[in-house]
């Protein structure tokens, strides 16, 4: 087995004398040197070079020079990643960062370890264990993370800490060695991931949203005339409450719900268990990117509070139109839209969750470009609610 193969299995390997590993380290350190010499204003050049250095990165990645790593290809960062000056990542094993991770200056992430036995250490043997960091984590300045550590989501690591063991989600931790100081009160929306609900926190969030989304949904559905509708579809069905509302609104129709989150699918099925047993409702796992239905299938389609997260809004609207019958209507329902005067807390959430939040005019253009022959926009006075109605 090669030394690189041993390394990737977490075994002792010769990092000092193996020519393949030496070449890989020199290659990426030359890239790091070049990156560190770029003028701060040369943003495009910096972005191009960091693409060559890192194994994988999400959008909005900023690493402030100087930055150093061992191999580069073992580093994966999520969206909205920021590392301040003097970040060092010794990525002999995988180093994975989630979304919205902020790294203060002079931080280090060290996957490399060495034998306690002096003879083997002097012979150049070492080992490497992965480091994993969740979403929404903030590292204060001067934090050092040791091999094999996992840090949960929504956690803050205090400046100067030395992290030698796993740190759970939703805490403030600090010290040498780093220890949990206190729990953080985290909204289940953050933990549950509204973009794609997951885990127990996601289920709790969906249950709450079944209630909180009720008023805007009831208002918007007042514009729907279900007369003669046989097939209804709810996209991004979440916790399943809208499916139930549609079934009550059109008692003779069959209602289908789709969501790409397995947690949402299960919650919707549980919420509508009786309707499913009666054969009136079906809930399936699917994405708006590729709806598993034939052209011209549905008389009415809804989506409630999910358009913010659609991966390609313009193309996804075309996909919705494809499965809508001629003369059918699509209702996009949201409790905010892009307008002047939104509360600061709303604007902060738009930024925090990277919401796509068009204005009335932008909605009209999107629907027209998707091929809808008519577009009606309903606004409820005194609120930020919107219902965009598209007719095929």
The CATH number of whichever domain residue 124 belongs to comes to: 2.160.10.10
Task: Tell me what the mean pLDDT of segment 203-222 comes to.
Answer: 93
SS (HEC) of 40-88: CCCHHHHHHHHHHHCCEECCCEEECCCEEECCCCCEEECCCEEECCCEE
- pTM of the complete model: 0.60
Pick 350 or 253 by higher pLDDT. Answer: 253
**152/248 same-domain check:** no
**154/201 same-domain check:** no
State CA 218 to chain mean position distance: 29
pLDDT computed for residue 193 by the predictor: 78
**229/89 same-domain check:** no
pLDDT mean across residues, the chain:
94
Whether residue 8 has a cis bond before it, omega within 30° of 0: no
Active site residue 114: yes
**Confidence band, pLDDT 50/70/90 cuts, at residue 247:** very high
**290/369 same-domain check:** yes
Looking at 135, 150, 185, which one is the last position of a domain?
185
**145/261 same-domain check:** no
pLDDT computed for residue 296 by the predictor: 97
Q: Which of 20-34, 185-199, 279-293, 300-314 has the lowest mean pLDDT?
A: 185-199
**254/375 same-domain check:** yes
Kindly tell me if the per-residue pLDDT of 190 is higher than 80. no
Tens-place pLDDT, residues 60-119: 899 999 999 999 999 999 999 999 999 999 999 999 999 999 999 999 999 999 999 999
**313/336 same-domain check:** yes
**168/198 same-domain check:** no
**Confidence band, pLDDT 50/70/90 cuts, at residue 195:** confident
**196/172 same-domain check:** no
Pick 186 or 209 by higher pLDDT. Answer: 209
pLDDT computed for residue 184 by the predictor: 79
**308/375 same-domain check:** yes
In angstroms, rounded to a whole number, what is the distance separating the alpha carbons of residues 353 and 201?
16
The CATH number of whichever domain residue 196 belongs to comes to: 3.40.50.150
**257/387 same-domain check:** yes
Tens-place pLDDT, residues 114-160: 999 999 999 889 999 999 999 889 999 999 999 999 999 889 999 99
Kindly tell me if the per-residue pLDDT of 185 is higher than 80. no
Task: Tell me what the mean pLDDT of segment 180-186 comes to.
Answer: 81
Structural domain containing residue 155? 3-185
**Confidence band, pLDDT 50/70/90 cuts, at residue 321:** very high
**Confidence band, pLDDT 50/70/90 cuts, at residue 199:** confident
- Say which of 114, 213, 364, 378 is annotated catalytic: 114
Looking at 170, 185, 200, which one is the last position of a domain?
185
The SS3 of residue 97 is strand
pLDDT computed for residue 169 by the predictor: 87
Place of tokens 């918007």: 220
- Six token digits for residue 72: 């580069």
Looking at 117, 152, 185, which one is the last position of a domain?
185
pLDDT computed for residue 354 by the predictor: 86
**26/160 same-domain check:** yes
**Domains identified in the chain, total number:** 2
Phi, psi of 68 (to 5 degrees): -135, 145
Calculate the alpha carbon distances from 71 to 37, 145, 364 in Å.
19, 17, 48
């Amino acid at each position: 087995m090669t030394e690189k193969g041993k390394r990737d299995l977490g075994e002792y390997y010769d990092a000092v004398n193996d020519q393949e590993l030496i070449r890989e380290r020199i290659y990426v350190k030359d890239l790091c040197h070049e990156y560190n010499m770029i003028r701060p204003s040369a943003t495009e050049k910096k972005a191009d070079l960091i693409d060559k250095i890192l194994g994988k990165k999400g959008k909005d990645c900023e690493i402030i020079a100087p930055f150093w790593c061992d191999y580069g290809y073992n580093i994966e960062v999520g969206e909205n990643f920021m590392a301040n000056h003097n970040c060092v990542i010794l990525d002999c094993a995988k180093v994975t960062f989630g979304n919205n991770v902020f790294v203060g200056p002079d931080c280090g992430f060290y996957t490399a370890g060495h034998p306690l036995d002096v003879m083997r250490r002097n012979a150049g043997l070492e080992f490497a264990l992965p480091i994993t960091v969740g979403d929404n984590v903030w590292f204060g300045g001067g934090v050092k993370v040791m091999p094999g550590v996992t840090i949960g989501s929504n956690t803050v690591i205090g400046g100067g800490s030395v992290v030698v063991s796993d740190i759970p989600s939703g805490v403030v931790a600090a010290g040498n060695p780093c220890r949990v100081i206190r729990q953080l009160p985290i909204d289940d929306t953050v933990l549950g991931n509204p973009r794609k609900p997951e885990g127990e926190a996601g289920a709790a969030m969906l249950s709450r949203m079944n209630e909180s989304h009720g008023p805007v949904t009831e208002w918007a559905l007042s514009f729907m005339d279900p007369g003669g509708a046989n097939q209804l579809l709810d996209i991004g069905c979440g916790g399943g409450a809208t499916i139930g509302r549609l079934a009550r609104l059109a008692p003779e129709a069959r209602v289908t719900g789709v969501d790409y989150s397995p947690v949402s699918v299960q919650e919707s099925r549980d919420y509508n268990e009786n309707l499913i047993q009666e054969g009136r409702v079906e809930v399936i796992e699917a994405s708006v990117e590729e709806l598993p239905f034939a052209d011209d299938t549905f008389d009415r389609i809804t989506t409630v509070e999910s358009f913010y997260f659609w991966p390609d809004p313009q193309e996804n609207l075309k996909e919705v139109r494809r499965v809508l019958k001629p003369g059918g209507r699509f209702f996009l329902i949201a409790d905010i839209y892009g307008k002047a005067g939104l509360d600061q807390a709303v604007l902060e959430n738009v930024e925090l969750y990277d919401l796509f939040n068009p204005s009335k005019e932008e909605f009209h253009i999107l629907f027209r470009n998707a091929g809808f022959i008519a577009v009606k926009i309903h606004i409820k006075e005194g609120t930020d609610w919107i219902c965009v109605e598209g007719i095929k």
